[in-house]
């Protein structure tokens, strides 16, 4: 299976390569409160792994802060002592750059509020936690403690303590798990997530999971986000897209949004964004693409939108993908109210046809000949308007069996005639269950 190949490739990289080690930056003094722990020289690290400055801060102030520089990823700051002194979860905060010093004030103010008697739990908003913007805290999954709270573990001599993560919003007040959050700001790992890829911890951290023999965790992450292709059905599934991807590209896997990873004869890997009708090279070989995918969940897996859907408990069945009510290539938005779900074959068929039609009209780049475009425009197929249990409409060739889960409305016509019928029937484009869930949101 393709997922097993992915995991094996990662495991070999662990054996043959070196993991990135995070190194503490030298920290600045923060007057009138516990300050960031100084980074001791490697030969001066105490045997117990806890800098003397941390113990001194906890004794004097009740808590201390550790600052960790990122190497190619955002750095972070976390507390030690809040649990011991105030029976309050330790807190971790990620910055927006390798040096997170600029966020020291925010986490320091948070710790002072705890010291002053305030209590914060999973899901609580932190009023004016970041200037005029509220922050929000979520519980940290214990699986991430060894990766990000190592010195705290050394201080407590185990990881038997609670921890929460303090998140900062974008300029509109959106958080990483909300639809519309900018992909370029998806910099704060979602440590409340068990899924290693959606957590956004990056490729190197996923390697650590494998080196610690947590392969099952990675396997679940891959199966949760990817659908593999059986060779016998790959060509059938991609028939509607062959005009775009060419005859030789072979599918590796599809995401749960129906986008497809393709391998070319030269070994390079492309990414077909089926909703936007965009084909781009992801990597030059079959090993690098894995790093690119796992380092960029916000783009490849639309992490913010997917996390929002899961917050709403909008889940799909095996074999289904999230689909767009109005495709982005046709002006649709990537938002929770523009989502429906269909089986993968139906998604690839409908998006491929739409992309081909738009391309023939000059909307998108195309590899089609004029002769093929004319054939597409002269499509005389008779279609049936069908509806599913979510009160969504679609069309299906009248000479074929209606797909499982769909019911014929009894209305037929050419493709354009059926689209006009649907336009008059389908007033609210959101799936029924999604409408109900959104209406129930506070």
How far apart CA 307 and CA 300 sit, in angstroms, is 13
By DSSP bridging, strand 278-283 and strand 320-324 are unpaired
- Predicted local distance difference test score (pLDDT) of residue 385: 87
CB 324, CB 332: distance < 8 Å: yes
**CA–CA separation, 259 and 238 (whole Å):** 11
**Cα separation of 36 and 100, whole Å?**
11
Q: Choose the weakest-confidence range: 52-61, 242-251, 374-383.
A: 374-383
Distances (CA, A) of 442 to 312, 329, 420: 12, 32, 36
Q: Which is it for strands 64-68 and 76-80: parallel, antiparallel or unpaired?
A: antiparallel
pLDDT digits (tens, 9 = 90+) for 76-123: 999 999 999 999 999 999 999 999 999 999 999 999 999 999 999 999
Nearest to 78 by CA among 19, 17, 162, 179: 162
Cα dihedral 281, 326, 223, 215 sign: positive
High-pLDDT (> 70) share of the chain, %: 80
Q: Which of 322, 326, 346 is nearest to 405 (CA)?
A: 346
Segment 65-84 shows an average pLDDT of 93
Q: Which residues contact 391 (CB under 8 A, 6 or more apart)?
A: 431, 432
Q: Which two tokens stand for residue 10?
A: 């990662």
DSSP tag of 101: G
Please, what is the angle between helix 203-211 and helix 2-16, to 10°?
A: 90
Q: How many residues are present in the chain?
A: 442
Helix (H, G, I), strand (E, B) or coil at 78: strand
- Write down the pTM of the prediction: 0.75
| Inter-residue contact 167 to 136 (CB < 8 Å) | yes
- Nearest-10 Cα torsion for 316, 322, 324, 329: 180
Find the mean pLDDT for residues 335-349.
88
Looking at per-residue pLDDT, the higher value among 71 and 126 belongs to: 126
Domains and CATH numbers, the chain: 2-220 (no CATH), 229-378 (no CATH), 380-442 (3.90.820.10)
Q: Which of 169, 168, 201, 175 is nearest to 72 (CA)?
A: 201
Q: Quick check: 69 and 98 in contact, CB under 8 A?
A: yes
d(CA 203, CA 296): 9
Q: What is the pLDDT of residues 247-285, one digit of tens each?
A: 999 998 999 999 999 999 999 999 999 999 999 999 888
């Amino acid at each position: 299976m393709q997922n097993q190949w992915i995991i094996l490739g990662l495991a070999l990289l662990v054996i043959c390569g070196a993991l990135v080690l995070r190194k503490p930056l030298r920290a600045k003094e923060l007057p009138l409160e516990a300050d960031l722990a100084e980074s001791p020289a490697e030969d001066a690290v105490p045997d117990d792994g806890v800098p003397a400055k941390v113990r001194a801060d906890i004794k004097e102030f009740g808590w201390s802060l550790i600052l960790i520089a990122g190497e190619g990823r955002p750095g972070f700051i976390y507390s030690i002592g809040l649990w011991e002194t105030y029976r309050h979860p330790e807190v971790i905060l990620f910055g927006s750059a390798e040096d997170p010093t600029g966020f020291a004030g925010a986490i320091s103010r948070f710790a002072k509020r705890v010291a002053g008697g305030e209590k914060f739990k999973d899901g609580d908003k932190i009023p004016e936690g970041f200037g005029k913007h509220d922050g929000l805290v979520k519980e940290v999954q214990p699986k991430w403690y060894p990766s990000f709270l190592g010195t705290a573990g050394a201080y407590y001599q185990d990881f038997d303590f609670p921890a929460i993560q303090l998140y900062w919003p974008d300029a509109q007040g959106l958080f990483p798990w909300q639809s519309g959050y900018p992909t370029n700001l998806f910099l704060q790992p979602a440590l409340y997530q068990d899924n290693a890829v959606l957590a956004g911890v990056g490729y190197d951290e996923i390697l650590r999971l494998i080196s610690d023999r947590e392969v099952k965790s990675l396997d679940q992450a891959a199966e949760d986000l990817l659908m593999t292709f059986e060779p016998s059905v790959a060509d059938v599934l991609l028939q509607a897209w062959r005009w775009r991807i060419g005859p030789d590209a072979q599918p590796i896997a599809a995401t749960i949004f129906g986008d497809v990873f393709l391998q070319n004869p030269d070994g390079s890997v492309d990414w077909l964004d089926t909703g936007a009708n965009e084909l781009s090279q992801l990597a030059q070989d079959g090993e690098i693409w894995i790093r690119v995918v796992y380092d960029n969940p916000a783009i490849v897996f639309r992490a913010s939108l997917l996390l929002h859907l899961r917050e709403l408990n909008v889940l799909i069945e095996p074999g289904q993908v999230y689909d767009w009510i109005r495709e982005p290539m046709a002006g649709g938005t990537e938002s929770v109210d523009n989502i429906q779900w269909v089986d993968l074959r139906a998604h690839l068929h409908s998006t491929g046809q739409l992309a081909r039609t738009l391309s023939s009209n000059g909307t998108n780049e195309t590899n089609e000949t004029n002769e093929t475009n004319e054939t597409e425009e002269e499509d005389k197929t008779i279609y049936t308007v069908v509806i599913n249990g979510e009160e969504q409409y679609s069309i299906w060739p009248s000479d074929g069996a209606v797909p499982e889960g769909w019911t014929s409305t009894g209305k037929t016509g050419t493709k354009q005639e059926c689209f006009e019928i649907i336009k008059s029937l389908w007033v609210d484009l959101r799936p029924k269950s999604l409408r109900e869930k959104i209406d129930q949101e506070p």
